Amino acid sequence: MILSGSVLLLHAQQNIALHGQIIDSKQIPVIGATIIVSGTTNGTVSETDGSFRFTLKQALPVTLQVRALGYKTETVDVYENEEVTVTLKEQTNTLDEVVVTALGITKEKKSLGYAVQALQNKDLENTKETNLLNTLTGKLAGVRITNSQGDMGSSRIVIRGETSIAGNNQPLFVVDGVPVDNSQLNSGGATRDFRNAIADLNPEDIESLNVLKGPNAAALYGSRAAHGVILITTKSGKGQKGLGITLSSGITLSTVATLPEYQNVFGQGSNGKFSYVDGKGGGVNDGVDESWGPKMDGRLIPQFFSNGVAVPFVAHPNNVKDFFETGVTLDNGISIAGSDKKYDFRLGVNNQRQKGTVPNSEIKKTNFTINSNYQLTKDIKIGATADYIVTNAPALPGGPSGGRAAGVMLQFLWFGRQVDINELKKNWNNNWNNSYYNNPYWNAYYNTTSQDKNRLIGDIHLEAKIADGLNFRFRTGTDYYNDRRKYTIKYGTSGTPYGSYAEDAYTVSENNTEAILQYTKNLNKDFSLDALAGFNLRNRSYANNYQKAPRLAVPDLYTLTNSRDALTSSNYFSRQRAYSGYASAQLAYKNFVYLNVTGRNDWSSTLPSNNRSYFYPSVNGSVVLSDALKIKSKTLDFLKLRGGWSEVGNDADPYQLATVYNFQTAFNGNPIQTSSQKKLNADLKPETTRSVEFGLESSFWQNRLHLDFAYYNTNSFDQILEIKTTAASGYTSQLINAGKINNHGIELQVEGTPLQSRRFKWNVAVNYSSNNSKVKILDYAGQIQNYTIGSSNGVDVLASVGKAYGILYGTAYLRDANGNIIVGANGLPKADPQNRVLGHYTPDWLGGITNTLTYKNLQLSFLIDANVGGKLYSGTNRTGNYTGVLKQTLPGRDAAHGGLSYYYPGNLSSNGKKLLTGTSAPNGETVYDDGIIFKGVLADGTPNTTVISAQEYYKASYNISEAYIYSSTFVKFREVKLTYNVGKKLVKKIGLQDASLTLTGRNLFFIYKAVPNIDPETALNTGNGQGLESLALPTTRNYSLNLNVKF
Amino acid sequence: MIKKLFPLLIIALLASSCNSQLDEINKNPNATETPQPAYLLTSALKQGADLYWGSESNFNSSLLFVQHWAKIQYTEPDRYDVSNSSFTSLWNTGYSTLITDLNTILNFSDDQVNSNYKGIALTLRSWVFLLLTDAYGSIPYQEAGLKITPAYNTQKEVYTGLLADLTQAQSLLATANGSVSGDVVYSGNISKWKKLVNSLRLRIALRISDKEPDLAKQAAIAATVDAAGLLAGNSDTFQFVYASSPQQNPASAWFDTRDDYRISKTMVDKLYELSDPRLSVYAQLPSDASVGKYVGGANGLSNSDANSQGFAKTSKPGTYFLAPQSPAVIFSYSEVLFARAEAVARGYISGDAEQLYKSAITASLNQFGITDATVISNYLNQASVKYDATNFAKSIGIQKWIAFFGQGLDAFAEWRRLDYPVLTAGPATVLDGQIPSRFFYPGTEQSLNGISYQAAISTQGKDLLTTKLWFDAK
């Protein structure tokens, strides 16, 4: 549906006889179209061949308006006397929209009994996010995306809530018919993060992205589609007349978006004292990595860079911010496309070079793509696609090993507030604290994690017409990648004095081969049938090999043989296979009543032979009420009701049937074999997910308003759960078939055009979704009440019977019957020995609103999205309070900040603190002004009056998880995009087919957020154990400029 | 419809013929389903020593509670400011690694392993259960490893059960019953294992002596009259000798990269007070040579107070304990002698308590390389060291506490039982002046085995660090 105007020169004088042709998008002439010069009555009507001719009554240029029944009105500027060809777009009703469905089959959207949502290239390109998933945030109803680790990390996507208690809840990705992997191998926790695999794709290569939101839509994909499917169609050369060359070039600048708010009053140390000698306890509190030290008022104190000389002790308010650099991503691509009657092709290459916000971090990625089709004979067409992706990351942000020595934000939540980052930058051997840390630049440049990845996604396919209405399709596709990571730690690193070197290599491959017969027939005047039957063979394999030299023999040589000790190593290999047979049929009555049925049977290698085969059906239908009841009016264009029921089965991971014993490093020649602590299950059954879905689609006032509403209710049964068990059962986990989890929710999409004139258009798209989950049963014997999904710092994320999925469970304050916190005689709050439910991480609702304003060639769009409800546990706030670096730890730290005055009777700390009642202590004792009284009651119910120091106060709740639970609600100004399409006239003049310039800003700011100091979107990893924030790298704010030119 | 069904039919036939092929694909190439008893035994010994001598159960908890060691930074555990996730490895490794692996040996059929393997497995399993109940109190014992949510047994039930288990272990062990490999402690010497069994029986007898004196006496007699005897010299000491990195002593590995601990001031002061020759073995001189004497770190200080003692001005534990090959002592000869002395003092068995007490101290001095007879007799003859028959708990308690240096879990159990030496909680501790009397149950017990857990604490008392356990009568 592209507007194209081609113009031919006739005269160059007045009284020009303007002529041309009106066609539709299928090149068919449009008869009886009205052609009129804008603002006049001068014009004509097109002939039976679509042609027109009339004499202009004015000089060029003119604007023509072309109208025809069933088509959208088009306006064309005519600058020269040339043949004018105007392509009219069909008046698209939602009625006639065509979407890609399961197995890549295109269907009329009106015939479907389930919800699909499509994004087109324009929604994805030019945003220049380096992770494809992030470009989807806020644009899809019912889809939740969380971005865990800054600008180079992974993102997680979940559609319609978590339906699997334990398994992967992310959708299946299918690129041009080939299922592709989106796993995140060895995420490495909070200190380091690898991108999820789908981030390899280049958004510019994508033509469209269809989201099949639930089992109803995805039943034909079977096993892995229980959590929805994302179907990606890449660009091809189809429709490109002759040769088209597109150049695309972009630059993105990234800055860290959300850093903790630091205090700038007190520096490093403890109890107000600090003096640096060796940074590990040799001076006064110089081994302490906290900021409970002296006031940074310029007093003279020896510091880490001053060689014992006392220098001014002053705040460096930006000492964390200044560590981060402006990230730069350069993106350059070229593609060549072409087609004629027999063939079409598109070749593309795109190079992306990203320098991250963490110094020395860099990822380079190149995509080579090819998409081609060739008409072999009249009835046989063959084709192939390939996306070869080379990723080279010399250094990823975050160090190679966990813990204090490596984590970027971990160090910055202990970082002395007086530390001058420039002194650390000048000399990487300088270090502010030698007890626990390395100079952060030392970490960034010497202790690196690198990644080299080569990936091929591709297929070859054949389509053949066997008879009228009977077609055969064959496809064999692969997704293969090698991912090699190297971890280096330099000699002399704190905690790893000899350094270390490790290699971690993965090879993952999945091959799918499918054959499908498709049959289409009009049975009689009213009924038509569209049926298919197919077979799929799936093979997947995974291999990992890890080797580590734990202590290097000589510095700076990173090889596995340069080792003082025996290498530690491990490897893992797995493969699985599944055969599937499936069939579907669609019966249509008069193009307004549709019935679809599908069935699929899988045979999976991962299940025991007697449970290996499992069948699952689905049925859905739709009625276009506006046609069936003939109630179309000027107000109502279209009204459709849809509904369906489906069942999807799922198999297990490989090797889950027989309990095994692992080997550990042998001791003095004696092999060590030990329990894997996980009891497996020889009688596993497949998982089942059943889902019911209803929906309504309508459109009003000539498509000025669209509405799509969906309700779904999904129950998952017999889930294969690795339940955590008490170790006293003999195993820390056991694999069972258990559980029932219910998810139900609604999704609403509204799209409208409140204002539309010839030059100006305002479009609004809103999406809203809300999902409720409830864990109904874990094990059928009723012994297990909780399933542990994840945990961090003593907070568990649980699936707990009778509650929503993902409750946060941990230590709470001990409270009395009135809810007052109970404080001990020492003035510190007490922890309740009974752990409590502290909230749940899943949000109440998600929403997004996109406004698009178009004026002539200029388009401005902006997206605001919201996540309302849900709780999170913030490790950043917990640590930052303990260390006293956060601004929120200022109240009470001195008299100026409201601190109470106290003294130690007789100046002996063993006598305890006594609140000062007069202006000075009775016996002239030293008076301190950092006293706080914890609000609470003593065990006997009387109010607590014991004064404690601010340092004690802010540390008191370190082990009480409740203190660091926050609401995750936020409203974010996610994206603003300004596009200028260079006018056809100008483009033509410089010999181009198309040109555009786009400015984008992403992740700009929070309109509202409840949790301080962090971006609530940051989660631990791509697993299910969400809601646990743990010192993640900050997310980034990105600005990009992008130029697209087509020859 | 026929057209549709036909390919499906073919597929179904194809798939069923591929069934065995699919089974083959799902055969795990990464690990074996068939364990070897010798390899499991090495595993239990190595992982048991790691657990007993490692950070979480030893030097970051029990060794601080009994004031053998102190923290010079990160003093939270030394101030008892810990949570119910602080003591999980003793529970998790104890049950799901050690007891499970030992049960695997016990469950082999008789033609797969000889009874010596089973006797050793039962002995080691009893030792692990003993560690668990000493630390936590009531624990799953009878149903452990058998149910998904096993019930807890009281300490009385556990100790009684362990005495029976050890009697059975003794009957399974005999030199003639066949050889054992993988025994990296006693090298397959079954008579030493038999001595260890009796020694463990004696240890348990004394554990319950304040609560079940009759049973204790009976067990003490049984343990001492058994023909196999008790550990009879330092060469019989049950200890795991480590190798070089990465198979090095856990304390050694810790000090390779970190500097968190000092020997406790309580221990150093006591050793100075007694002019104890073990001081130079237990402690290093501070790295700042100007200090010139041993200085312990005080327990239970705030982080900054602990820090201000000076990393260079305080003594680290002795190099004897921090070498890669340093042993993890699990049952020493001196402990056997102390136990015999106490059994005599309690009137369970006959003998000379004072002489046994002296022999016990001598064995301990020998254990740490002090063999000079004059040095030893000078030490023994001090009034402050002499055996006090009117208060055997004090004499034995103090000396046992010194002799157990490094064996946190057992030092902690015996200190609770004998109530000597008198220890004072540090100034910044958070238990209102008390010292812990037990470990918290892992917090996960509340979510994973909630009903059994609630039943256990309803009889034992709240799941607090200060709740006194059954065996700890006073």
| A185-199 pLDDT per residue, tens | 665 443 456 677 777
Interface of A with B in 540-559 (CB under 8 A): 550-551
* Tokens, residue A503: 């290699």
On whether any CB of chain A is under 8 Å from the CB of B29, the answer is: yes
**What span, in angstroms and rounded, lies between the C-alpha atoms of A702 and A696?**
18
Q: Is the pLDDT of residue A388 over 70?
A: yes
The three state secondary structure string of A907-971 is: HCHHHCCEECCCCCCCCCCCEEEEEEECCCECCCCCECCCEEEHHHHHHCCCCCHHHHEEECCEE
Burial A327-341 (b: 16+ CB within 10 A, else e): bebebbbebbbbbee
Residue of A688, A913, A937 whose CA lies nearest to A830:
A937
pLDDT at residue A14, as a whole number: 54
More confident residue, A340 or A319: A319
Give Cα A5 to chain centroid, integer Å: 40
**Residues near A2 by Cβ (< 8 Å), separated by ≥ 6?**
A25, A87, A239
How far does A873 lie from chain B, in Å, by closest CA?
17
Answer yes or no: is pLDDT of A36 > 90: no
DSSP conformation letters of A793-821: TTEEEEEETTS-SSEEEE--B-B-TTSPB
CA distance A49 to chain B (A): 44
> What residues contact A603, with CB distance under 8 A and at least 6 apart?
A578, A579, A580, A612, A613, B15, B18, B19, B22
Side chain identity, residue A1000 = T
Q: A813: which residues sit within 8 A by CB, 6+ positions away?
A: A821, A822, A829, A830, A831, A832, A936, A957, A960, A962, A963
Which tokens in the block code for residue A643? 């509904």
Q: Which of B418, B438, B434, B416 is nearest to B426 (CA)?
A: B434
Please tell me whether residue A103 adopts helix, strand or coil conformation: helix
| A17-88 CATH fold | Immunoglobulin-like (2.60.40)
Are B148 and A535 within 8 A, CB to CB?
Answer: no
The A residues from 765 to 804 touching B (CB cutoff 8 Å) are 779, 783-786, 788, 794, 796, 798, 800
Residue with tokens 């996540």: A867
Question: With pLDDT > 90 as the criterion, what percentage of chain A qualifies?
Answer: 46
| Interface residue of B24, B447, B460, B465 to substitute, partner A, most A CBs within 10 Å | B447
Contacts of B257 in chain A (CB under 8 A): 495-497
Which of the two residues, B189 and A356, has the higher pLDDT score? Answer: B189
Taking contacts as CB-CB distances below 8 angstroms, the residues of chain A near B36 are: 671, 673
**What is the pLDDT, as a whole number, of residue A94?**
44
Rounded to the nearest angstrom, the gap between the alpha carbon of residue A625 and the centroid of all alpha carbons in its chain is 37
Q: What whole-number distance in Å separates Cα of residue B363 and Cα of residue A908?
A: 44
Q: Do A724 and B444 touch (CB under 8 A)?
A: yes
Greatest mean pLDDT among A52-56, A200-204, A683-687, B465-469 lies in B465-469
Residue B399 CA to its chain's centroid (Å):
19
At residue A404, does pLDDT exceed 60? no
Give me the residue from A282, A655, A663 closest to B26, CB to CB. A655
> Cα angle vertex B376, ends B373, B382, to 5°?
135
Residues A598, A577: Cα–Cα separation, whole Å: 22
**Cβ distance of A835 and B23 shorter than 8 Å:** no
Whether B312 has its CB under 8 Å from any CB of chain A: the answer is yes
From A82's Cα to the closest Cα of chain B, the distance in A is 55
Q: Is A834 on the interface with B (CB under 8 A)?
A: yes
Q: Minimal CA–CA distance to B435: which of B400, B411, B461?
A: B411
Is residue A936 very low, low, confident or very high in pLDDT (cuts 50, 70, 90)? Answer: very high
- Say if B187 is an interface residue toward chain A (CB within 8 Å): no
Beta-carbon contacts of residue B112 (< 8 Å; ≥ 6 apart): B37
DSSP A480-517: EEEEEEEEEE-TTBTTBTT-EEEEEEEEEEEEEEEEEE
In chain A, which among 907-966 make CB contacts under 8 A with chain B?
909-910, 958-959
- Nearest Cα to Cα of residue A161 among A226, A117, A115, A219: A226
Determine what percent of chain A falls in helix, strand and coil, rounding each to the nearest 5.
Answer: 10, 50, 40
Angle among Cα A597, A598, A602 to the nearest 5 degrees reads 160
Query: Which token pair is A528?
Result: 């038509």
**Dihedral angle of Cα A847, A849, A850, A851, to the nearest 10 degrees:** 180
CB A872 within 8 A of CB A1011: yes
Q: Decide which of A103 and B355 is more confident.
A: B355
Question: Which percentage of chain A shows pLDDT scores above 70?
Answer: 92
Q: What is the residue-level pLDDT of chain B in tens, covering all 474 positions?
A: 444 555 555 555 555 556 788 888 998 888 888 899 999 999 999 999 999 999 999 999 999 999 999 999 889 999 999 988 889 999 999 999 999 999 999 999 998 999 999 999 999 999 999 999 999 999 999 999 999 999 999 999 999 999 999 999 999 999 999 999 999 999 999 999 999 999 999 999 999 999 999 999 999 999 999 999 999 999 999 999 999 877 899 999 999 878 899 999 999 999 999 999 999 999 999 999 999 999 999 999 988 788 889 888 999 999 999 999 999 999 999 999 999 999 999 999 999 999 999 999 999 999 999 999 999 999 999 999 999 999 999 999 999 999 999 999 999 999 999 999 999 999 989 898 999 999 999 988 988 899 999 999 999 999 999 999 999 987
B11-20: long-range pairs with CB below 8 Å, 24+: B11/A535, B11/A579, B11/A581, B11/A601, B12/A581, B12/A601, B14/A579, B15/A579, B15/A581, B15/A603, B15/A613, B18/A579, B18/A603, B19/A603, B19/A609, B19/A612
Per-residue tokens: A77: 């500027």
Calculate how close chain A gets to B439, using CA atoms only, in Å. Answer: 12
* Nearest chain A CA: its distance from B323 CA (Å): 16
Please tell me which residue of chain A has the smallest CA distance to B88.
Answer: A727
Please report residues of B whose CB lies closer than 8 A to that of A724: 444, 448
Give CA–CA dist B404/B282, Å, rounded. Answer: 11
Mean pLDDT to the nearest integer, A260-286: 90
Q: Which pLDDT value is given to residue A161?
A: 66
Q: What's the rounded Cα separation, in Å, for the pair A1002 and A1017?
A: 14
pLDDT at B63: 97
pLDDT for A1032 beyond 80: no
Q: Quickly count: other Cβ atoms within 10 Å of residue A633's Cβ.
A: 9
Chain B interface mutation, best of A436, A729, A834, highest count of B Cβ atoms under 10 Å = A729
Residue B356 CA, chain-centre distance (Å), reads 24
Nearest-10 crossing angle of helices B37-53, B100-107? 160
Q: Using pLDDT thresholds of 50, 70 and 90, give the confidence band for residue A26.
A: low
For tokens 């003049």, name the residue.
Answer: A989
A727 lies within 8 A of chain B by CB: yes
Place of tokens 């100046």: A907
Question: CA–CA separation, A643 vs A391, rounded Å?
Answer: 44
Rounded-to-integer distance, Cα B4 and Cα A583, Å = 7
Question: DSSP string covering A252-270, please?
Answer: EEEEE-----B--SB-SBB
DSSP A822: B
For A939-997, the pLDDT digits (tens) are: 899 999 999 999 999 999 998 999 999 999 999 998 898 988 887 778 778 878 788 88
- Write out chain A residues lying below 8 Å of B140, CB-based: 726, 728
- Please answer yes or no on whether A730 and B33 come within 8 Å at the CB atom: no
In A103-256 the beta strands, taken as DSSP E runs, fall at 106-108, 116-120, 143-147, 155-159, 172-175, 178-180, 206-212, 229-234, 242-256
Interface of A with B in 894-913 (CB under 8 A): 909-910
Calculate mean pLDDT across residues A380-398. 91
pLDDT surpassing 90 at residue A96? no
Helix (H, G, I), strand (E, B) or coil at A633: coil
Of A676, A674, A661, A669, nearest in space to B40 by CA: A674
Residues 659-718 of A with CB under 8 A from B: 659-665, 667-668, 670-677
Distance of CA A217 to the CA centre of its chain: 22
Inter-axis angle of helices B155-172 and B190-207, nearest 10: 160
Among A497, A576, A796, whose Cβ lies nearest the Cβ of B25? A576
B258 touches A at CB < 8 Å: yes
Check: CB of residue A643 under 8 Å from CB of residue A618: no
Mean pLDDT for chain A overall: 86
The residue assigned the tokens 């004690």 is A952
Q: Domains of chain A: which residue ranges?
A: 17-88, 94-235, 879-963
Chain B residue numbers with beta carbons less than 8 Å from the beta carbon of A909 are 427
Give A238 or B239, the one with higher predicted confidence: B239
Would you say B237 and B231 are in contact if contact means Cβ atoms under 8 Å apart?
Answer: yes
B-facing residues of A in 289-308 (CB < 8 A) are 290, 292
A1039 has a chain B CB within 8 A of its CB: no
- For B330, the token pair is 């699990």
Distance CA A946, CA A938 (A): 10
Tell me, what's the pLDDT at A167?
65
User: Do the beta carbons of residue A191 and residue A402 sit within 8 Å?
Assistant: yes
| Contacting A residues, span 493-522, partner chain B, CB-CB under 8 Å | 495-497, 517, 519
Whether A1031 and A1037 have beta carbons less than 8 Å apart is answered as: no
B22, B42, B148 member nearest A667 (Cβ): B42
Confidence (pLDDT) at B5: 54
What chain B holds in terms of domains, given with CATH numbers, is: 41-246+325-460 (1.25.40.390)
* Nearest partner of A465 among A373, A586, A377, judged by Cα: A377
Q: Is B449 on the interface with A (CB under 8 A)?
A: yes
CB-based contact A783 B148, cutoff 8 Å? yes
Average pLDDT on A90-99 reads 60
* pLDDT value of position A187: 52
Interface touch B149/A519, C-beta < 8 Å = no
Establish, for the pair of chains A and B, how many residue pairs have beta carbons separated by less than 8 Å. Answer: 275
pLDDT digits (tens, 9 = 90+) for A829-887: 999 988 899 999 888 998 899 999 989 889 898 989 899 999 999 999 999 999 999 99
A833/B contact by beta carbon, under 8 A: yes
Distances (CA, A) of A408 to A185, A321, A1032: 21, 12, 8
Q: What is the pLDDT confidence band of residue A51, given thresholds at 50, 70 and 90?
A: confident
Is pLDDT at A9 greater than 50 in this prediction? no
Taking residues A584-605, what's their average pLDDT? Answer: 92
Number of other residues whose CB lies within 10 A of the CB of residue A121: 17
Q: Which of A281, A550, A730 sits opposite B307 (nearest CB)?
A: A281
Inter-chain touch B25–A828, beta carbons under 8 Å? no
Helix H or strand E encompassing A693:
strand A687-700
B91 CB within 8 Å of a chain A CB: yes
Cβ contacts of residue A587 below 8 Å, gap of 6+? A527, A528, A529, A594, A595, A596
For every residue of A181-202, DSSP letters joined together read: --------TTS-----GGGGS-
DSSP run (H or E) holding A588: strand A568-589
To test the contact with chain A by mutation, choose from B3, B10, B17, B22 the residue with the greatest count of A C-beta atoms within 10 A, namely B22
Q: Determine the Cα–Cα distance for residues A103 and A580; give it in Å rounded to an integer.
A: 13
Is B304–A271 a contact, with Cβ atoms under 8 angstroms apart?
yes
Pick the CATH number of A94-235 from 3.30.428.10, 1.20.120.1760, 2.170.130.10, 3.40.50.300: 2.170.130.10
> Between B155-172 and B213-225, two packed helices, what is the crossing angle to 10 degrees?
20
B287 touches chain A (CB under 8 A): no
